[in-house]
Amino acid sequence: MTTDMLGKSVKRVEDRRLITGGGRYVDDIKLQSMAYCAILRSPYAHANIRSIDTSAAKAMPGVLDVMVGTDIPYNPLPLAWPAGGSAGLQNNVNTPRALATDSVKWTGEGVAAVIAETPEQAFDALEAIVVDYEPLPTVVDAEKATQPGAPQLHENAPNNIVFDWTVGDKAGTDAAVDAAEVVVRQRIVNQRLIPNPMETRGDIGLYNPGTDEYTIWMSSQTPHIQRILLAIFVMGIPEHKLRCISPDVGGAFGTKIFCYADYVVVLHASKRLGGRAVKWIESRRENYQSTIHGRDHITYLEIAGSKQGEISAVRVKTYANLGGRLSTIGPGIPTTLYARVLSGCYKIPNVFAEVIGVYTNTVFVDAYRGAGRPEATYVIERAMDLFANEIGMDPAELRRRNFIAPDKFPYENPSGLGTASGGAKIYIDSGNYEPAMDKALAMAGYAGMDKAKAEARRRGKYLGVGLSTYIEVCGVAPSKWIGAVGEGWGAAMWESANIKVHLTGKVVVTMGTQPQGQGHETTYAQVIGHELGIPMEDIVVQHSDTQGTPMGYGSYGSRTSSVGSTAAIRAAAKIREKARRYAAHMLEASVEDIEVDGAEYRVKGSPDKKKTFQEIAFALDLAFDAPEGMEPYLDETAYYDTPNCTWPFGTHVAIVEVDEATGHVDLVKYVAVDDVGNKINPMIVDGQLHGGIAQGVGQALWEGAVYGDDGQLLSGSMLDYAMPRAAWFPHLELDETVTPSPVNPIGVKGVGEAGAIASTAAVANAVNDALKPFGIRHLDMPLTSQAVWKAMQSSKGAQA
């Protein structure tokens, strides 16, 4: 019986723990003498703070401390990724404060913190804090915020502009647009989303006065990065004085990458209390008001080409709403991760993008599942449909004519991937787009759509079909690219793995990556079991703690399977090589004569002369017979920096029916053919796709963060923010093509974001297709019943 589980749909080893209540999330952790923190949040979206009176709160029962902004020795949080890559580009930077000092810029910004014996006492005391606000005019729309006369948020950011960033060949693109036979223009809104991981955020700060060291438990995707940011850039201590522990994390979708104000509050609070642990747990309402939001772009799109369907240029101007202050990597998302991949899987020779980052009186915006790439995919995939409609060509045929051909890789795209600063160039290294599209079209019954549309009309429904032939840049990223100053976040992006083989041959793997529900404990065990020829059950995978795991940059950007697994494979190779050398010693053979077959180390030509991995581990651990110069014990670490990102692609097809009477959209069929390269665990890949597709469909049809003009978050809870529900989905029909990635030894690409990147455009295209009989060209998301019905009404009015 084989023990090699690589590529098999093994059930997840963490699920017994996670689904039977055995998980250990931040809020499950209760330390001795632990105090509780509650944060007072601004009811105004824009106001100056005249004064804060905490005296009554301090006298409340159980209250241990009340902190305001001026109690924090160094208050501003760091910005790790300004917009870069253009010479002389200026970022007008304003970052959040651990607690607000002189002003608030959005509803929900933290103003004061109460530390009390119980959470109830802490919440009660919040009501006794008196803040004297001077309300100021507000602006929540990014485009309006840049207009003359708009309320100004920051003195150093005239017209609320964070940056005005460009990429691509402006002159060439302008000329191509001017010369084109056909130019289609459209204003496209990619609405703001609230990410909604199942577990909200939370943290526990603990200061040890005896050692002058801090520990923080955090629901984070990036404990190692948080140690760097918090220690060096906020707390003013070296990294070895701060330990970051990220226990089980109940979903994140990007929201838990960043450096948040509450981390700073609980660390200082613990020190102020002489070392009592201080816990803060975010409520869902706070999560909506003070954890990052996603998307929120207003884009003016122009797509140009010939009547025969040859696309010659794409030109966009995008207003990216970044909120009231900048989140950790907020500016990087609408620049590098959006505009540099705007041309998608198409050989569009001229691309130019201008992105204006804007402050508004809203929560900060940062990376949310897909992070820039869903926004880019939505723009280019809507653009392809708009262009196809304009010239009367089938949208699938237009895509086919413009795909980058399979023999053109590595492909340097014109939207700036190849022109990044720091000398680093990134190429699309592989792809074969047409077979994936053909497979998806066949599965969807694309050829029979006219008949299906006619049949639906007889039932009072308008049927529509939509494509999304997406690519994504995953496995971020080579340090030479993302770490280049002014381009990425100014730090490295390598990964790490340590493998220790214990006396009994059992293996403990520690990783620098950080799961949030993806099943790393299963997939790494599959990879390492394959490499070392041992059963998965003999391997335990650990992570989450800066004390005890090698330095790594965490999990986001679909990078774990590509970058993390390669580090693990390299560590395993070192283990195997040392085991082989010791086997040679044990078998009195030369190293060159030892061949490795799974867990067996044999002398070539003498198959009975062999040692097992377990025998070698045992002997090396006892080490009484170690040869001269060989260290005891099997313990190896590998650090791995990838030469390139990975480039998953595929075609998603959505079929919807629109109810003529109410405008209600029903998703009736969904087909996805994804090429994520080789798969470590196909079941987990399917799960990632299911969740990602649902999130993307959520954006297309239901989700939207809505601010009133006064900056109040009207979609402030799940009663008003529509999360997708399982019952609203048809069976998701998944299939694949397999184009292994050339950048890592197992040919994987990553799949965490693919579904969310692809599905929004497919469903939006389908709804717009369904509305074509009404002469509707483009309708912005979310495509709610009301929005669709109103569009149909105004179109009927126009036709009458």
Interface with other proteins, residue 87, by CB under 8 A: no
Q: 747-786 mask for other proteins (x: CB under 8 A)?
A: -------------------------------------xxx
Residues 278-337 that bind other proteins (CB under 8 A): 283-285
Interface with other proteins, residue 130, by CB under 8 A: no
CB of 555 to other proteins, least distance (A): 28
- Torsion sign, CA atoms 124, 220, 549, 505: positive
CB of 10 to other proteins, least distance (A): 31
Q: Which ranges in 235-347 belong to alpha helices (H)?
A: 261-272, 284-290
CB of 137 to other proteins, least distance (A): 22
Q: Out of 19, 485, 503, 661, name the contact with other proteins by CB under 8 A.
A: 661
Q: Out of 719, 726, 797, 799, name the contact with other proteins by CB under 8 A.
A: 719
Task: Answer for the pair 526, 475: CB distance below 8 angstroms, yes or no.
Answer: no
Candidates 79-87, 171-179, 349-357, 717-725; binding stretch for other proteins (CB under 8 A):
717-725
**Of the two residues 320 and 788, which places its CB atom closer to other proteins in the complex?**
788
Q: Out of 11, 16, 48, 120, name the contact with other proteins by CB under 8 A.
A: 120
Number of Cα atoms under 13 Å in the Cβ half of residue 208: 10
**Of the two residues 189 and 314, which places its CB atom closer to other proteins in the complex?**
189
Q: Out of 718, 730, 738, 798, name the contact with other proteins by CB under 8 A.
A: 718
DSSP element (H, E) containing 253: none
Label the pairing between strands 649-659 and 461-471: antiparallel
Interface with other proteins, residue 123, by CB under 8 A: yes
For residue 570, give every residue at least 6 positions away whose Cβ sits within 8 Å of its Cβ, in sequence order, or none.
Answer: 497, 638, 640
**Of the two residues 81 and 707, which places its CB atom closer to other proteins in the complex?**
707
Interface with other proteins, residue 141, by CB under 8 A: no
Label the pairing between strands 539-542 and 507-511: parallel
Q: Which ranges in 484-551 belong to alpha helices (H)?
A: 520-532
Candidates 116-124, 137-145, 556-564, 676-684; binding stretch for other proteins (CB under 8 A):
116-124
**Of the two residues 244 and 665, which places its CB atom closer to other proteins in the complex?**
665
CB of 285 to other proteins, least distance (A): 7
Label the pairing between strands 103-104 and 594-597: unpaired
Interface with other proteins, residue 18, by CB under 8 A: no
Torsion of CA 754, 757, 758, 759, to 10 degrees: 110
Q: How many residues bind other proteins (CB under 8 A)?
A: 25
Interface with other proteins, residue 702, by CB under 8 A: yes
Interface with other proteins, residue 43, by CB under 8 A: no
CB of 401 to other proteins, least distance (A): 38
667-700 core/surface letters (b: 16 or more CB in 10 A; e: else) = bebbbbbbbbbbbbbbebbbbbbbbbbbbbbbbb
DSSP, collapsed to helix, strand or coil, labels residue 111 as: strand
Q: Out of 58, 506, 664, 777, name the contact with other proteins by CB under 8 A.
A: 664
Interface with other proteins, residue 798, by CB under 8 A: no
The residue ranges of DSSP E strands in 199-260, in sequence order, are 202-208, 213-218, 242-245
Task: Answer for the pair 366, 257: CB distance below 8 angstroms, yes or no.
Answer: yes
Candidates 354-362, 545-553, 660-668, 735-743; binding stretch for other proteins (CB under 8 A):
660-668
Among candidate residues 599, 597, 601, the one with its CA nearest the CA of residue 610:
601
- How far is it between the farthest Cα atoms of the chain? 94
CB of 113 to other proteins, least distance (A): 15
CB of 744 to other proteins, least distance (A): 41
Side-by-side strand order, sheet with 495-501: 539-542, 507-511, 495-501, 634-640
CB of 789 to other proteins, least distance (A): 6
Interface with other proteins, residue 273, by CB under 8 A: no
Task: Answer for the pair 294, 311: CB distance below 8 angstroms, yes or no.
Answer: no
Query: Using CB under 8 A as the criterion, which residues of the chain lie in contact with other proteins when the complex forms?
Result: 119-120, 123-124, 283-285, 661-662, 664, 702, 706, 714-715, 718-723, 784-786, 789-790
